[in-house]
Amino acid sequence: MTCGKTQQELDDFMTGRLVPAERSEIERHLLACPDCRSYADWYRDLAVQVAALPDSIEPSRDFWPDISSRLSGREDRAAHIVRLPARREAAVHPRRVSWNAWYRRPAAITAALLVLIAVSTLLTFNVRQQPGQPPAWTVTGLSGAPMIGLRRASEGGPLQVGEWLETDAASRAEIEVGDIGQVELRPNSRLRLLQSRANEQRMALDKGSMRALILAPPRLFFVETPSALAVDLGCAYELTVDPQGNGHLAVTAGWVSLEFHGRESLVPAGASCVSRRGLGPGTPYFEDSTSDFQKALAAVDLHRSPDASLGVLLSESRVRDTLSLWHLLPRLSPERREVVWTRLNELLPAPPGVTRQGVLDLNQTMLDRWKDDLEQFWF
């Protein structure tokens, strides 16, 4: 997908109106293209400001000269904003609004457009160019007495960068992560805010469990754990860290990438993944797979009786379990990789251009092409 196509689809991507295959294509492009990630961040901020505009704006008679002077040197940016596409009808998110819906408002469109270009563009760029203290997250106690350091978390109290939020057995807390979503911290849990910037929201989950709902472009929200880094790709998920530092991720919407020292597991909605301290993420699996499949997968990940376990794994696998088999390909020896290739090809034949030798040689282009074909069965 090209940068132009990605930017044209951003409105539908952010409001959840793309089919999984289209959304996945944009996510992959955003992962690889920092320019488009930056554009998506700017677009999201601008949409929030548009949503806050009143339905009717009556500029004063002497307002135009000020606008005219501020627009100097911004013509190209303004023209780009006006050309933002509007392909399909959109349901308006409470914190976002599509360009389609905005254009149909019975307001003074010309005046509103000029104000939008002048004010929204200037505010967006001015805020980013001014260094200063990063914004705090907002914490609300849901039950018990969650603590921020040595002080009790009050209603709507701030969590500053570097501070710890901790819950005991009787407490829970909800955190507003800027304007991109919420995190619920469960009992007996501890997290720390590491970074809060326009292009990066990062926290560490030291122990316990949390639930996140994030509505933002991919790779904007990160959770560090002792065993892996959870990278949000626009999703909802639950993450748990046990006393030994091992993690368990369960995704309920979208995708999460679990990463550790170059090892990556892509976990879609309905799937889970275990991460082990010192080893990183294991192989993702769907929660509706058989118990024998899950036990065999854990044994393969831990190199326990790998041949026997792999045999059980392959015999128990369904078409949907190609999620696990595809992830296993680069993690196995060449001999075991060929066995997995054979079973994968039985469940869903490789598409044209994806060859046995190419897969055994871990040709990344072929692996990605096969993954694109398999994804339709993973949802």
In the listed set 129, 155, 178, which residue is the last one of a domain according to the structure?
129
Query: 154 and 104 share a domain?
Result: no
Query: 240 and 357 share a domain?
Result: no
Residue 189, pLDDT score? 98
* Distance (Å, whole) CA 376 – CA 379: 6
Query: 58 and 125 share a domain?
Result: yes
CATH number of the domain encompassing residue 213? 2.60.120.1440
**H or E element that contains 185:** strand 181-185
Residue 289, pLDDT score? 96
**Is 34 a residue whose pLDDT tops 50?**
yes
Residue 2, pLDDT score? 78
Q: What mean pLDDT comes out for the span 161-187? A: 95
- Parallel/antiparallel/unpaired status of strands 157-159 and 263-268: unpaired
Identify which has the larger pLDDT, 27 or 357.
357
What percent of the chain is modeled with pLDDT above 90? Answer: 58
Q: What mean pLDDT comes out for the span 109-138? A: 46
**Is 12 a residue whose pLDDT tops 60?**
yes
Q: What mean pLDDT comes out for the span 255-262? A: 96
Q: Which domain holds residue 206?
A: 134-281
Query: 198 and 212 share a domain?
Result: yes
Place of tokens 């499949």: 293
Query: 272 and 292 share a domain?
Result: no
Helix, coil or strand: residue 343: helix
Nearest CA to 95 out of 211, 182, 8 is that of 182
**Is 93 a residue whose pLDDT tops 60?**
no
Query: 287 and 277 share a domain?
Result: no
Query: 269 and 316 share a domain?
Result: no
* Distance (Å, whole) CA 117 – CA 125: 12
Residue 56, pLDDT score? 55
**Is 60 a residue whose pLDDT tops 90?**
no
Domain count along the chain: 3
pTM for this prediction:
0.65
In the listed set 98, 114, 129, which residue is the last one of a domain according to the structure?
129
Query: 204 and 217 share a domain?
Result: yes
Query: 110 and 140 share a domain?
Result: no
**Is 89 a residue whose pLDDT tops 50?**
no
Query: 318 and 271 share a domain?
Result: no
Query: 226 and 89 share a domain?
Result: no
**Is 66 a residue whose pLDDT tops 80?**
no
Q: What angle do CA 357, 358, 359 make, to 5 degrees?
A: 90
Helices (H), the chain: 3-8, 10-14, 20-32, 34-51, 64-71, 75-82, 99-103, 109-115, 121-129, 291-301, 306-316, 322-328, 334-347, 356-360, 364-374
Query: 111 and 188 share a domain?
Result: no
Q: What mean pLDDT comes out for the span 76-93? A: 38
Residue 87, pLDDT score? 35
Q: What mean pLDDT comes out for the span 328-337? A: 95
C-beta of residue 142 within 8 angstroms of C-beta of residue 174: yes
Q: What mean pLDDT comes out for the span 69-73? A: 50
The amino acid that residue 315 corresponds to is S
Residue 157, pLDDT score? 86
In the listed set 214, 249, 281, which residue is the last one of a domain according to the structure?
281
**Is 327 a residue whose pLDDT tops 60?**
yes
